Amino acid sequence: MQKDNLKIAKTAPDALKVLWKEKVLLKPKNVEEVEKELEKRGYNFTDKNLMMALKNAKFLTRKGSNKNYVYIQKHPFMEDSKTR
């Protein structure tokens, strides 16, 4: 197992990056679907924390109308030279 797989996301924004890296966000997902994907990996953030993370994620775009939003990645995941 690689070292990257052993890192644990301690914040909702970091957990969203895990989903992005695993290509989970290639297709549009609503909040409930994102929450289920995080729960599969053992993450359970408050609704407020998750909503703020989704809203502020620079690598995601939000489509739809109020209370019917879906989130999808803007571009493929690439390791930042600072995180290598």
In a domain, 81, yes or no: no
In a domain, 27, yes or no: yes
Q: What CATH number is attached to the domain comprising 60?
A: 1.10.10
Which pLDDT value is given to residue 84? 45
- Two tokens at 25? 């966000």
In a domain, 9, yes or no: no
35 burial type by CB count under 10 A (0-12 exposed, 13-18 middle, 19+ buried): middle
Q: What CA–CA distances, in Å, run from 68 to 26, 28, 37, 77?
A: 18, 12, 18, 25
pLDDT reading at 83 higher than 50:
no
**pLDDT band per the 50, 70, 90 thresholds, residue 46:** very high
Which pLDDT value is given to residue 66? 84
Number of domains in the chain: 1
Q: CA torsion angle for 40, 25, 80, 51 (degrees, to 10)?
A: -70
In a domain, 6, yes or no: no
For 47, the domain range is 14-73
In a domain, 79, yes or no: no
